[in-house]
Each structure stands twice: as C-alpha cells, then as structure tokens.
Amino acid sequence: IVFTGSTLTGQAIARAGVANLKRVSLELGGKSPIIVCRDADIDKAVPVAAMAVFVHSGQICIAGSRLFVAREIHDEFV
C-alpha cells in the first residue's frame, strides 16, 4: 500500500495495513522549509522560493511552507 496525503488518513491506512499484514509506504503532510543562506545567489533564490510556495497552489506534499532567510541578506531578499 502506497499513500501520499494527510497525516490523519495515513494513520488510518497504517492501522489497516498492520491489521492485514500489508507493507505500507506513507508520505504524509509536513513542513517543507526554504532556507536561504547568506552566500545565496539572491537573483536565483527569490524566484525559486516563490515557486516552491505557489506552484500547484501549495497542493503538493513538498510545497514550501516556511521561509528562513539569513539576517545578513533579509532586507535585500524581501
């Protein structure tokens, strides 16, 4: 059984799989941080960060949900 989706549904699938001795692979919801270090190429980092959040309207399991930018480049990045 392979499932990608919410944690709540994944828990139910895991319980059902265990009860029936099935192999289960789950990719559940999580937080996907975008980390921008002080030596990042800002001209590349800005559009990549925006795309990570907005591509597919955030409806994918790897959508960026948090943005961490080094203090030294914060103002320029924003």
61 is catalytic: yes
**Per annotation, catalytic residue among 37, 61, 72, 76:** 61
76 is catalytic: no
**Per annotation, catalytic residue among 27, 37, 72, 76:** 27
Q: Minimal CA–CA distance to 29: which of 1, 53, 16, 10?
A: 10
Rounded to whole angstroms, the Cα distance separating 58 from 75 reads 25
Residues acting as catalytic residues: 27, 61
